[in-house]
Chains A and B, each alone.
Chain A
Amino acid sequence: NAGVMQNPRHLVRRRGQEARLRCSPMKGHSHVYWYRQLPEEGLKFMVYLQKENIIDESGMPKERFSAEFPKEGPSILRIQQVVRGDSAAYFCASSPPDRQNTEAFFGQGTRLTVV
């Protein structure tokens, strides 16, 4: 059973370009979470999705950021018109449905560098 798969592992974008980060959850997991980690800091929640639904996006910046988790395919975190401050590690986590107390499993992250 493969773990949470994120790609790419490293992404370099110029200011103003778009960044697309992909996350395939563990098999059987229908809940996906995106977190952002700035250097030497903890993880900050961005968005929580279930298949075809955004459940909680309270941590997502209102502009330029969007996320989706379609019925088929991976979850996508999209950042439009990237700026230097978007440089960070973006982690995806997944968990099974209907179990509030289960731990989330994390991918290895995508390290975004904006130049």
Chain B
Amino acid sequence: AQSVAQPEDQVNVAEGNPLTVKCTYSVSGNPYLFWYVQYPNRGLQFLLKYITGDNLVKGSYGFEAEFNKSQTSFHLKKPSALVSDSALYFCASSMDTGRRALTFGSGTRLQVQP
């Protein structure tokens, strides 16, 4: 079984400051890890993924995430937040074998204040 945890319901950060949105995972094999963003009344947009290789993954809109196997984490980061980054962020996992469907975390609302 696999699970994804996002321990923070909401993260507040001032514009221009770095941001981190936390994600931890629990899977029995090699995980594939994803970050998606959801704007109000919209579908999910893909940001980035970790499959294998470099632990630091760079994605869309200046976001990056670091895969940490020992801490089973995949935190989303951005060096300088924008007000337009305010949205709902979801971490998700799937498996390298077996079930293809994504298992999502509960989501973290990011609020960037001007």
Contact = CB atoms under 8 A, between A and B. Distances in A.
B99 A104 contact: no
Instruction: Classify chain A's interface size.
Output: 20 to 34
A106 B43 contact: yes
Interface string B91-114: 000111101111111110000000
Contacts of B99: 56
B27 to A, nearest CB: 14
A42 interface: yes
Instruction: Classify chain B's interface size.
Output: 20 to 34
Given A33-B102, A42-B90, A48-B100, A101 B51 contact: yes
A105 B49 CA distance: 13
A41 to B, nearest CB: 6
Contacts of A42: 90, 104-107
A104 B93 CA distance: 11
Given A42-B90, A43-B90, A101-B51, A91 B101 contact: no
A3 B94 CA distance: 22
Interface of B: 32, 34, 36, 41-46, 49, 51, 90, 94-97, 99-107
